[in-house]
Structure 1
Amino acid sequence: MGAITKPKPVLLLIAASSRYDEALAWGLERAQEQFGKAALVSPAFDFTETDYYLEEMGPDLKKQFWAFQQTIDPSELAAVKRATNDLEVRYIEQSDHSEPRPLNLDPGYLTLAKLILASTKDHAHRIYLQQGIYAELTLQYRKKAWQALPWTYPDYQREDFQAFFSECRQQLR
């Protein structure tokens, strides 16, 4: 029988998507109020791999990643996802954008070996955590590179995204 041990702290990562720079800035400010100072902030990448969000969020989306200085226990992921969902609702209520969802916040965490994303949607490759939240292994780090899985979103397979995730690995070290 293996010994039960406490998990190592992980790097909190939030993927923020919007067509509005002010929404990304608002989201980062509120996330830092809740989760502490961001250690790394990616450029606002063009998000062109899918039109899945077109009706809900409009065209010309940008995606930006925020990695936080303060590490978390991985068991906190469900609570973080619920908190980011609440932030999305707060932004809708205080903004005057015409889209039903002008800001999307998708949290996850990064370890030296993997990138995990939280989701409210169940699927065959997702594990239930708690409070209606699931976790998905999105990328694994093997042979000194990020490796996609059959269900990995196309944008997470981009070299520029993965270069940022590698910076995050260095931050975690």
Structure 2
Amino acid sequence: MAVPHSFPPVKLVAGLIFSGEEARGRAEKELRALFGAIEARSPVLNFDLTDYYAREMGPQPLKRAFISFETLISPEELPGIKLRTIALEEKIRLALGADARPVNIDPGYLTKAALIMATAKDFSHRVPLRDGIYAHLELLFTKTGVRTLDWTYPDLKRVEYHDFFRSVRALYLEQLKEKRD
């Protein structure tokens, strides 16, 4: 018989899609205040493989970056974190006096085996968590690198992001090792 155990802590990450550096800077500042020090930043790349956010964020060239945080969290915290980032997006929009949404913040977490992102949009492969928030399995980590899935977002198939998440995973594994020692 299987015996349930507590979930191990996971590495909090966030994806930022933004229209300008001011919005990105404001988002990072607010996220640090909520979740602690930022440990690593991905390269900033053009968000140009889809026009999904063009209507909501404007037609200007959008950028995408990821950050990871030093502090580990419980995976059970993800829905609450997503709800906080939704509110934070509106706070930033109002602070910048923007009509369009200046930043999209997608929190998630990294485990030994996978990258999980939070979303408020349902789809066949997403798992409901609570309060209208779903878990979205985005990437798998293997012995040879990163494996994408049929539903992996196109921009997350870029090698630059794979390299970033592999490096964050190495930091995470070291943190877990230090907790055991």
What TM-score do the two structures reach when normalised by structure 2? 0.92
* Mapping for residues 53-68 of structure 1, pairs under 5 Å: 53-58=53-58, 59-68=60-69
* Separation of aligned partners in 1, 2:97 and 2:133: 29
| Structure 2 residue aligned with 1:122 | 122
* Separation of aligned partners in 1, 2:96 and 2:29: 15
* Separation of aligned partners in 1, 2:129 and 2:6: 17
Where has structure 1 moved over 6 Å in runs of 4 or more?
none
* Separation of aligned partners in 2, 1:22 and 1:80: 22
Identity %: 38
**How many Å apart are 1:162 and its aligned residue?**
0.7
Q: Which structure 1 segments of 5+ residues have no match?
A: none
**How many Å apart are 1:153 and its aligned residue?**
0.5
Task: Tell me the SS of whatever aligns to 2:3.
Answer: coil
| Structure 1 residue aligned with 2:177 | none
* Mapping for residues 20-169 of structure 1, pairs under 5 Å: 20-58=20-58, 59-99=60-100, 101-169=101-169
The one-letter code of the counterpart of 2:4 is I
Task: Tell me the SS of whatever aligns to 2:72.
Answer: coil
What TM-score do the two structures reach when normalised by structure 1? 0.96
**How many Å apart are 1:102 and its aligned residue?**
1.0
The one-letter code of the counterpart of 1:104 is N
* Separation of aligned partners in 2, 1:33 and 1:159: 30
* Separation of aligned partners in 2, 1:87 and 1:121: 18
Q: Which structure 2 segments of 5+ residues have no match?
A: 174-181
